[in-house]
Every structure is written in C-alpha cells, then in structure tokens.
Amino acid sequence: MEIIRGAQLNIDANIVRESILHAPKLKLKPKHINVLDVEKLAIVPQDADRSKINFQLNYLKNLLPSVVVKASFYDFINGFDT
C-alpha cells in the first residue's frame, strides 16, 4: 500500500474488488469477494467441493496477479486529490 500511496494512485480494496469482478477469466461473483478494510480483501473460491478446492486455489493464485487494476476516470480528471 505504501507504493500505491507514494505513486499517488487512488486505489483501495473496493477498486481492486471491482477490477477482479470484471476480469473475464476469473468468473467470480460479488459474493466471493469480501472487503475486510480499505487495504484487505478475502476471496473465497467458487466451488466449495473439497475435491476441487486445491485446483480452485491454484487457479486463483495464478490468475490474480494478471488482473489489471486502475483508478477511475474521475480520479484522472481531478488529479488524485481526494
């Protein structure tokens, strides 16, 4: 979070959550992503079946770093002064 603040990017856990929800390969629904606070998320795998849980966790672990997170257009217009 310090790097994000230092770069003056107005990004918090809610923005990251929305970016994850819009990632086409992940196919996660809002009920699978919980915002714990402005810096933390909890992601629950889609399928709670014990035989598939390891596969789901590995799938998420591999794809989450490729999700593009960006600030809103409103932030660019206002110069990140919020």
Give pLDDT tens digits for 13-71: 888 899 999 888 888 899 999 999 888 899 988 776 778 888 888 888 999 988 888 75
Q: Is 19 exposed, middle or buried (0-12, 13-18, 19+ CB in 10 A)?
A: middle
How far apart, in whole angstroms, are the C-alpha atoms of residue 31 and residue 48? 13
Cβ-contact 60, 43 below 8 angstroms = yes
The pLDDT score that the predictor gives to residue 1 is 60
The pLDDT score that the predictor gives to residue 31 is 92
Q: Which DSSP symbol is given to 43?
A: E
Q: Tokens in use for 24?
A: 């086409």
Residue showing tokens 């809103």: 72
The pLDDT score that the predictor gives to residue 7 is 59
Give φ, ψ of 7 to 5 degrees: -85, 0
Better-predicted residue by pLDDT, 51 or 10: 51
Domain ranges across the chain? 2-70
The pLDDT score that the predictor gives to residue 10 is 72
pTM over 0.85: no
The pLDDT score that the predictor gives to residue 74 is 57
Residue showing tokens 């856990």: 13
